[in-house]
Structure 1
Amino acid sequence: MKELMSLGIAIVIFIACNQQSKRYTQQSPEIETYKQVLEDYEDRDWEAMVAHYSDTAKIMNNVTEEDGKNLTQFLAENKKDASQFSRWDFVDDESEYEMIVNDKGETWVNFWGLWEGTFKTNNKVYQIPTHITAQFVNGKIVREFGYWDVSKIIRDIQQADELSSSEERTGN
């Protein structure tokens, strides 16, 4: 009888452990959604891209949460950035995705990749390592944090602006 009881408890524990949801995976509907977000970004299909975000989403790209952007600001910033590049995309072989469910039960998709873009002003190609993490609720992105270093691009934009100002002053 003790053996039967022990076997029953072991089966219950085994079943309970196997029914837990995955806390870490590299395959999920949220990952597929985020891949589509990045594809829409690469294609500059802004309407399709923001359709994956909740109306109240907050986006923090290289800023603290207090300085985060709403969707309207986020879209305007992306459109402005896009106007300065003839092309951009994420290098497929350099992209990695994972989804985690943290201890609070929040679902996050993490992305690591290599962004590559050609700046219109000087036709220079930039490669920038990128990390983005997005929180999902009911299939929509509600918060997103992005981190990358744009200092080289900013320096070149400033130099181009200085050159343009100098040419305007001298009449060239």
Structure 2
Amino acid sequence: MKKLLMVGLAVVLLTSCNKQEKRYTQNSPEIDTYKKVMDDYKTLNWEDYPTHYADTAKIANNVVEEKALTVSQAIEKSKEDAAMFSWVVEKEEYEMVMTDEEETWVNFWGIWKGTMKSTNKEYVIPFHSTARFVDGKIVEEFGYWDNSEIVSDLLQMEQESASATSNSISE
């Protein structure tokens, strides 16, 4: 009886120790891909950047999903930003999670330090982005950061420029 109890206990222990799929990690092929995306962004490598995305991928940075951009549109927006700013990205952290719905997401946190070329003013902005992967490609991406200081400064520059134009016309 004692042996039967021990065998039963051993079976219960062994079956309860089934290997479960990783639901969280900081090392994965998807994270490696997302690191390449960030490297392409930091080096303005717009040729390789889209190779990490599915053809139908949508990128929603600081907008709702319905206003998401295609990868080509997001690249054009980044090119416009690169004309106004030089930047670096620091303190990068990555993680991959598997949701209850079996979706694979890579999360990124970093510090964006950008210098506006026209004013030489530096902005330091924490940001977060998250990308969903299917078959090794990004199918959707969301980015979040507070760019209100930049927007405020651009509006002020625009008002000062309009005021200077108005003053020169009235002279």
* 1:48 is aligned to 2:48: yes
**Retained in 2: the 8 A contact 1:115–1:128?**
yes
Whole-Å separation in 2 of the counterparts to 1:38 and 1:32 = 10
**Retained in 2: the 8 A contact 1:109–1:134?**
yes
Structure 2 residue runs without a partner (length 5+): none
The 5 Å alignment of 1:1-172 reads: 1-14=4-17, 16=18, 18=19, 20-85=20-85, 87-91=86-90, 94-169=91-166, 170=168
**Retained in 2: the 8 A contact 1:60–1:146?**
yes
Segment drifting more, 116-125 vs 151-160: 151-160
Q: Tell me the amino acid that sits aligned with residue 74 of structure 2.
A: F
Q: Give the deviation of 1:99 after TM superposition.
A: 0.6
Provide Cα deviations, 1:103-130, integer angstroms capped at 9, x if missing partner: 0000001111111111011011100010
The CA RMSD measured in Å over matched residues stands at 1.5
Provide Cα deviations, 1:109-153, integer angstroms capped at 9, x if missing partner: 111111111101101110001010110111111010100011111
Q: Give the deviation of 1:76 after TM superposition.
A: 1.3
What percent of counterpart residues are identical? 48
Whole-Å separation in 2 of the counterparts to 1:2 and 1:167 = 91
Structure 1 residue runs without a partner (length 5+): none
TM-score, normalised by the number of residues in structure 1: 0.89
Whole-Å separation in 2 of the counterparts to 1:155 and 1:2 = 73
How many corresponding residue pairs? 165
TM-score, normalised by the number of residues in structure 2: 0.89
Q: Give the deviation of 1:32 after TM superposition.
A: 1.3
Whole-Å separation in 2 of the counterparts to 1:68 and 1:162 = 29
